[in-house]
């Protein structure tokens, strides 16, 4: 296996992350190639079929748009109509998509008020596939990014327009999370950004990738805002937005480590202080 061959496959998949998602999809549906060459052939056949489905989808969408123009009916801006962008979902891709959505690693439907099992109609699965671009690797990669950003849905039908919007805008954390973060960071009371010496404050530049990374670092917008507020309380300052991402990651990691240590410290019988904690308190310097 040559690195150049991997780079070529990633290019054909429209990105390394999409390639990894396609490989996960292959694994979920039980594909077991005997060699890298056989795997590469399977991948390329898959990419060709996906391109064909996308072309079919575009043709159907163009025909629907022409029909809408003929009778004077226009679709609302930003709306998503599965019927106008339908592309056939193959049995293998359907199996991979269902396997991902129902796997433990997918938390898109892990909401407190959700009751009962998730019911997905075949037509809704087709619509989700179309909303994600009619390529299983890209669909799963986008769903994975939305999941990492803490997006949660009570109904499967709510996921379809959200996936279409994420694919169209490139923002996986969602418009509400994006607005909440920008309102906080752009507010007059926010002191996270150091002012340039001898000059007016620079305009805040925020990329969608950095915004998603910030939200994903804290597993959701609520955690991200809490981490930013804590960093601000500590007097932390940065000069660029993307410098906040590693700070939030460090803050979250420190919190997780502290939470992991608490059960160990509280393992003594009720009413008895743990010896290690008492010793640590005795040796700690006065603040």
CA atoms within 13 A on the CB side of 201: 15
121 and 54 housed in the same domain: yes
159 and 224 housed in the same domain: no
Return the pLDDT at 45: 73
pLDDT at 174 over 50: yes
148 and 7 housed in the same domain: yes
58 and 136 housed in the same domain: yes
Q: Range of 14's domain?
A: 3-67+78-170
Return the pLDDT at 281: 41
253 and 113 housed in the same domain: no
Return the pLDDT at 62: 42
- pLDDT confidence bin for 119, thresholds 50/70/90: confident
Which of 108-112, 229-233, 277-281 is the most confident on average? 229-233
93 and 219 housed in the same domain: no
Return the pLDDT at 77: 33
What's the 3-state SS for the chain? CCHHHHHHHHHHCCCHHHHHHHHHHHHHCCCCCCCHHHHHHHHHHHHHHHHHHHHHHHHHHHHHHHHHHHCCCCCCCCCCCHHHHCCCCCHHHHHHHHHHHCCCCCCCCCCCCCCCCCCCCHHHHHHHHHHCCCCHHHHHHHHHHHHHCCCCCCCHHHHHHHHHHHHHHCCCCCHHHHHHHHHHHCCCCCCCECCCCCCCCCCCCCCHHHHHHHHHHCCCHHHHHHHHHHHHHCCCCECCHHHHHHHHHHHHHHHHHHHHHHHHHCCCCCCCCCHHHHHHHHHCCCC
Rounded distance between C-alpha atoms, residue 266 and residue 215, angstroms: 31
Return the pLDDT at 13: 66
Q: Classify residue 284: in a domain, yes or no.
A: no
How high does pLDDT run on average in the chain?
76
48 and 179 housed in the same domain: no
Which of 182-191, 213-222, 263-272 is the most confident on average? 213-222
Which of 109, 141, 170 is at the close of a domain?
A: 170
Residue 193 has φ and ψ, to the nearest 5°, of -105, 125
For the chain, the C-alpha Rg in angstroms (whole number) is: 24
Rounded distance between C-alpha atoms, residue 181 and residue 212, angstroms: 11
Q: Classify residue 123: in a domain, yes or no.
A: yes
Q: Classify residue 11: in a domain, yes or no.
A: yes
* CA trace torsion 249, 253, 255, 258 (10° rounding): -160
10 and 130 housed in the same domain: yes
178 and 152 housed in the same domain: no
Specify whether the CB–CB gap between 145 and 137 falls below 8 A.
Answer: no
Q: Classify residue 73: in a domain, yes or no.
A: no
Number of domains in the chain: 2
pLDDT at 144 over 50: yes
Decide: residue 66, CB within 10 A, 0-12 exposed, 13-18 middle, 19+ buried. exposed
Rounded distance between C-alpha atoms, residue 92 and residue 252, angstroms: 38
Q: Which phi-psi region, left, alpha or beta, contains residue 76 (left: φ > 0; alpha: ψ -120 to 50)?
A: beta
Q: Classify residue 108: in a domain, yes or no.
A: yes
Q: Which of 254, 189, 184 is nearest to 218 (CA)?
A: 254
Residue with tokens 């805002």: 225
Rounded distance between C-alpha atoms, residue 191 and residue 238, angstroms: 9
The tens digit of pLDDT for each residue in 190-244 reads 999 987 765 555 577 888 999 999 999 999 999 999 999 999 999 999 999 999 9
41 and 107 housed in the same domain: yes
Q: Classify residue 91: in a domain, yes or no.
A: yes
Q: Classify residue 58: in a domain, yes or no.
A: yes
Residue range 19-41: average pLDDT?
74
User: From residue 222, how far is each of 90, 175, 254 by CA, in Å?
Assistant: 38, 14, 17
Rounded distance between C-alpha atoms, residue 62 and residue 264, angstroms: 62
256 and 235 housed in the same domain: yes
Lowest average pLDDT, out of 98-107, 170-179, 206-215, 261-270, goes to: 261-270
- pLDDT confidence bin for 78, thresholds 50/70/90: very low
Rounded distance between C-alpha atoms, residue 241 and residue 29, angstroms: 40
Q: Classify residue 273: in a domain, yes or no.
A: no
Which of 141, 170, 199 is at the close of a domain?
A: 170
Q: pTM of the predicted model, to two decimals?
A: 0.64
157 and 23 housed in the same domain: yes
């Amino acid at each position: 296996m040559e690195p150049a061959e991997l780079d070529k496959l990633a290019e054909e998949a429209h990105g390394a992350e999409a390639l990894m998602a396609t490989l996960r999809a292959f694994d979920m549906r039980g594909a077991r190639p005997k060699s890298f060459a056989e795997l590469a052939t399977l991948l390329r056949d898959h990419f060709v079929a996906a391109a064909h489905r996308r072309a079919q989808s575009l043709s159907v969408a163009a025909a629907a748009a022409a029909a809408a123009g003929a009778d004077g009916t226009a679709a609302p801006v930003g709306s998503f109509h599965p019927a106008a962008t339908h592309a056939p979902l193959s049995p293998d891709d359907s199996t991979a998509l269902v396997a991902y959505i129902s796997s433990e690693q997918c938390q898109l439907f892990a909401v407190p008020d959700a009751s009962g099992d998730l019911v997905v109609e075949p037509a809704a699965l087709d619509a989700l596939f179309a909303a994600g671009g009619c390529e299983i690797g890209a669909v799963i990669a986008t769903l994975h990014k939305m999941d990492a950003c803490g997006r949660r849905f009570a109904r499967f039908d709510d996921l379809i327009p959200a996936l279409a919007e994420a694919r169209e805008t490139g923002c996986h954390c969602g418009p509400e999370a994006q607005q909440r973060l920008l309102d906080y960071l752009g507010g007059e009371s926010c002191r996270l950004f150091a002012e340039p010496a001898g000059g007016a404050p620079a305009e805040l530049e925020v990329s969608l990738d950095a915004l998603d990374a910030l939200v994903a670092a804290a597993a959701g917008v609520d955690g991200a805002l809490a981490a930013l507020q804590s960093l601000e309380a500590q007097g932390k300052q940065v000069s660029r937005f993307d410098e906040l991402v590693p700070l939030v990651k460090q803050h979250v990691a420190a919190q997780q480590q502290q939470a992991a240590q608490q059960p160990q410290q509280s393992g003594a019988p009720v009413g008895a202080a743990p010896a290690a904690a008492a010793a640590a308190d005795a040796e700690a310097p006065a603040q």
